[in-house]
């Protein structure tokens, strides 16, 4: 997917041999979907366009071969984004277009999608006092859906855009659309500061959500991020991790930035510096140069407990409109999303994402998705949408977030030394299917097992069909890659494999993905 301002439509090109180890390196050459690109400046920034998992997830995701195994609630096949900037996973990719949003207070410079391969990032537009009225546009024509491996295919093509205000798009579902928005004229709106002592506690998840209380509780933990580049400015969102001013956001939000300005919920601004970035997961950590003493860190929940239908709230700076909250539900979990960046050397991003219908737009990139208790369950990173004449897309109820467990795993590593390592399985895979009596399974078919790899040590063989990892269904090569990337190297997991017509379990201890 591309940045929110980017005009990327998810494009999925089936790759002959995706890798199931979860890394998109030479082994994942199969994924040809264009993914979200990093957010560029309002005009120059383009977020990678997310696309649904292409033929080669893991190391080299390949296009989806078969449908999800029977009985699975959500298609495990990845959606492939169209021009937006995400690569299609196994089903028809959604094209994600960058969300253009005006920068925080700066006059909006044409924000262009920033191209970040892995996560389509749409540039965040900082919202002006009043959002500019959109020019009349003819109804967008639906693009032909793309095919992707893992998830159930979606027939309609949707543009995935990154949530960057400056101009990047994310490919969601298969592709991440990064929500970056370009920055418009300075906004005259002032954001009221909130007192931690006066904040009411959010209700438990057993009760009807008190969204007013949740917003008051969580807003102080979300910040707006304005990024200055050689081409202008773009805007995104971040989540406060500690009282020292450490902030988690999307890589496509800060990629290519020359200066960072962070605005807290009380309207005060601070300069910040990048601590570390991880393009393969579209995550980045920044830190305030001179943090205030009253920062309120966010509380993170265990994303493995998130369920479909669960109420959620998204916070951020869509189109430059600071302190914006929207609500919805979790539409799906473990959604394979692939995003490819623009430019040579850009890395594709594979994520087993949370899907939500809470409105997410350019500028939301890097912002928190919280549950009814006010705890962060995901980091908003992409959307699927139908592009308009300008190549941008808005919310159509298909947003994607990086699960909190993955976000905290990577953030912890980035805080230590600015880099992150990823789990490695060691197989090249493609979307495939297998039948057992009257049951047909869809998953990631092993095309090749790398000698000496964790997969080889575990006894995986060519033609094995991986249909699950622990309790997570794997519907294709891209899905396999996304799931593996969300796991820690050195951890042991149980693979559910179909071999010679029989289902069996194989334990594997993941290694470290080669750099």
Task: Say how far apart CA 301 and CA 24 lie, in whole Å.
Answer: 28
Query: Measuring CA to CA, which residue among 106, 263, 281 is closest to residue 185?
Result: 106
Query: Measuring CA to CA, which residue among 283, 286, 260, 264 is closest to residue 275?
Result: 286
Query: Measuring CA to CA, which residue among 38, 4, 228, 8 is closest to residue 125?
Result: 4
Task: Say how far apart CA 248 and CA 176 lie, in whole Å.
Answer: 17
Name the one residue in this structure whose structure tokens are 């030479």: 26
SS3 content of the chain, % helix, strand, coil (to 5): 10, 35, 55
- C-alpha to C-alpha distances, 348 to 35, 59, 216, 259, 414, nearest whole angstrom: 6, 10, 36, 25, 19
CA 277 to chain centre: 14
Helices (H), 324-476: 404-417, 454-458
- C-alpha to C-alpha distances, 311 to 304, 357, 448, 501, nearest whole angstrom: 15, 10, 41, 40
Note whether 91 and 157 are within 8 A (CB). Answer: no
Q: Give the Cα-Cα-Cα angle 247, 250, 256 (nearest 5 degrees).
A: 100
- Encoding tokens for residue 509? 């201890």
- C-alpha to C-alpha distances, 167 to 213, 282, 359, 428, nearest whole angstrom: 32, 16, 18, 34
- Encoding tokens for residue 487? 């796991």
Query: Measuring CA to CA, which residue among 402, 411, 330 is closest to residue 162?
Result: 402
Query: Measuring CA to CA, which residue among 180, 177, 167 is closest to residue 52?
Result: 177
User: DSSP states of 285-314 as a string?
Assistant: EEEESS--TT-----B--GGG--TT-EEEE
Task: Say how far apart CA 71 and CA 480 lie, in whole Å.
Answer: 18
Hey, which residues are catalytic here? 252, 282, 365
Sign of the torsion formed by the C-alpha atoms of 250, 273, 404 and 201: negative
Query: Measuring CA to CA, which residue among 38, 131, 143 is closest to residue 80?
Result: 143
């Amino acid at each position: 997917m591309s940045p929110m301002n980017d005009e990327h439509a998810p494009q999925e090109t089936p790759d002959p041999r995706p890798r199931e180890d979860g890394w998109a390196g030479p082994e994942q050459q199969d994924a040809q979907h264009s993914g979200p690109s990093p957010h560029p400046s309002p005009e120059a920034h383009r977020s990678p366009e997310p696309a649904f998992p292409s033929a080669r997830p893991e190391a080299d995701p390949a296009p989806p071969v078969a449908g999800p195994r029977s009985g699975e609630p959500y298609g495990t096949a990845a959606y492939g984004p169209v021009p937006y900037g995400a690569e299609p996973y196994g089903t028809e990719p959604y094209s994600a277009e960058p969300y253009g949003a005006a920068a925080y207070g700066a006059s909006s410079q044409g924000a262009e999608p920033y191209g970040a391969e892995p996560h389509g990032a749409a540039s965040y537009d900082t919202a002006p006092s009043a959002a500019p009225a959109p020019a009349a546009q003819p109804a967008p024509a639906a693009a032909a859906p793309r095919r992707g491996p893992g998830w159930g295919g979606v027939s309609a093509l949707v543009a995935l855009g990154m949530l960057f205000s400056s101009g990047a798009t994310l490919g969601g579902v298969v592709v991440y659309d990064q929500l970056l928005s370009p920055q418009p004229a300075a906004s005259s709106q002032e954001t009221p500061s909130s007192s931690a002592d006066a904040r009411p506690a959010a209700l438990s998840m057993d009760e009807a959500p008190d969204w007013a209380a949740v917003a008051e509780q969580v807003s102080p933990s979300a910040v707006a991020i304005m990024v200055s580049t050689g081409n202008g400015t773009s805007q995104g969102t971040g989540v406060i991790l500690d009282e020292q001013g450490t902030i988690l956001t999307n890589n496509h939000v800060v990629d290519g930035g020359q200066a960072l300005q962070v605005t807290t919920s009380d309207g005060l601004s601070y300069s910040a510096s990048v601590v570390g970035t991880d393009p393969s997961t579209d995550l980045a950590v920044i830190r305030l140069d001179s943090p205030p003493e009253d920062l309120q860190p966010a509380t993170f929940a265990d994303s493995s407990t998130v369920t479909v239908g669960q109420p959620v709230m998204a916070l951020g700076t869509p189109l430059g409109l600071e302190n914006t909250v929207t609500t919805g539900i979790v539409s799906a979990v473990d959604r394979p999303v692939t995003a490819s960046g623009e430019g040579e050397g850009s890395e594709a991003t594979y994520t087993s994402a949370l899907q939500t219908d809470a409105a997410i737009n350019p500028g939301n990139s890097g912002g928190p998705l919280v549950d009814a208790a006010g705890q962060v369950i995901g980091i908003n990173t992409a959307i699927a949408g139908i592009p308009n004449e300008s190549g941008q897309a808005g919310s159509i109820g298909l947003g994607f977030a990086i699960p909190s467990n993955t976000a905290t795993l990577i953030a912890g590593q980035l805080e230590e030394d600015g880099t992150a390592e990823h789990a490695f399985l060691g197989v090249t895979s493609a979307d495939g299917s297998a039948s057992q009596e009257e049951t047909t399974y869809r998953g990631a078919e092993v095309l090749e097992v790398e000698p000496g790899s964790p997969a080889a040590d575990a006894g995986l063989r060519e033609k094995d069909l991986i249909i699950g990892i622990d309790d997570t269904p794997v519907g294709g090569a891209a899905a396999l890659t996304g799931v593996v990337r969300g796991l820690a190297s050195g951890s042991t997991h149980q693979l559910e494999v179909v071999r010679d017509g029989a289902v069996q379990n194989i334990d594997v201890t993941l290694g470290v993905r080669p750099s």
